[in-house]
Amino acid sequence: MSAETILQVRGLSRRFGGLTAVNDVSFDLTRGEVLGLIGPNGAGKTTMFNLLVGIHRPSSGSIRLKGTETSGLKPNRIAKLGMTKTFQNVALFQESSVLDNVLTGALLHHPVAQARDAAHEMLRRVGLDHIAGKLAGDLSFPERARVEVARALCTRPDILLLDEVMAALNAVEMEEFLALVRDLRKDGLTIVVVEHHMQAIMTMCDRILVLNFGGLIAEGTPREVAHHPAVVEAYLGKAYTGDHGAH
């Protein structure tokens, strides 16, 4: 695999009043890799995602996406440059059909008619074409998460940030999802996942970053991270005994 750096994050911080949610984080992302972002609740994972896609502005630091500085840009600009995310609690357009949700994502590159074709194709790919006509608000949580992934994919991103899309998936759905991720990386997609499901993280990721109190405390392969003393103390020790799927 060629080691093209697609995303470069340097000294990224975000403060909310007195709270520092993300504190001086730096990392690189190589095209085509799957990176895991883990850490206890409140460690700053979702804030990190929101900074990357432009929902929050960084207090300081820089984000370079394919060589373009994106900090301070609005999310729609960053999406056009090729980075998008799914939302932790799933943010579908509830009153629209599954097809229309996915179609709206495809509008970034197509006029309506072609966007509809692209949306149908994407729904087939993720195995949701049988519910294309259903209202998004009527779906189960796992279905909604998959629709959101399909919608995000329709924007044809280079980097896709997935925020806990596997929560509440059953074993079969989990397997299907991991297969989809394998499939997507074959197409060269770079993926960052935030997930509480440790086993899934360990199987799917090439590399893992560990956040605690907004700061980066460890980085490495799944195996390295799992045995890192700081990680074990800050996170894994507790999380392994806790309930992973609660959120």
Partner 1 sequence: MSLSSSLGNAGTPSLRTLPCRPVLLIAAALGMAGLVPLGLDPQGYTLRVLTLTLLFAAMAQSWNIVGGLANQISLGHAGFFGIGAYTSTILLRDLGVSPWLGMIAGMGLAGLAAAILSVPTFRLKGHYFALVTLAFGEVMRVIANSWSSVTGGPVGISVPFAPNSLWMFQYNTVRPYYYVSLIALVLVSVVFWRIKTGALGYRLRAIKENPDAAEVIGIDTYRAKLMAGLVSAVLTAALGTVYAQFSYFFDPDTIFGVASISVRMALIAIVGGVSLTFGPIVGAFFIIPLEEISNAALAGRAAGLSAFVYGALLIAIILVKPQGLLALFGDLYKRLRKESSR
Among 15, 107, 185, 226, binds partner 1 (CB under 8 A): 107
Toward partner 1, which CB reaches closer, 34 or 161? 161
Total residues at interface with partner 1 (CB under 8 A): 33
Smallest separation (angstroms) from partner 1 to the CB of 84: 5
Nearest-approach distance from CB 51 to partner 1, in angstroms: 13
Q: Across the strands, what pairs with 10? A: 62
* Dihedral sign (CA 5, 197, 187, 191): negative
Q: Which stretch binds partner 1 (CB under 8 A): 25-33, 40-48, 94-102, 189-197?
A: 94-102
How far apart (Å, rounded) are the C-alpha atoms in residues 135 and 98?
6
* Among 140, 198, 206, 196, residue whose Cα is nearest residue 173: 140
> Alpha carbon of 101 to those of 23, 119, 203, 208, 227: distances in Å?
35, 9, 30, 31, 41
Asked if 28 contacts 35 with a C-beta cutoff of 8 angstroms, the reply is no
Shortest distance, position 152 Cβ to partner 1, whole Å: 7
Q: According to CB under 8 A, which residues from 17 to 76 bind partner 1?
A: 53-55, 74-76
The site for partner 1 (CB under 8 A) is made up of 53-55, 74-77, 79-80, 84-85, 87, 91-96, 100, 103-105, 107-108, 111-112, 115, 135, 137, 151-152, 154-155
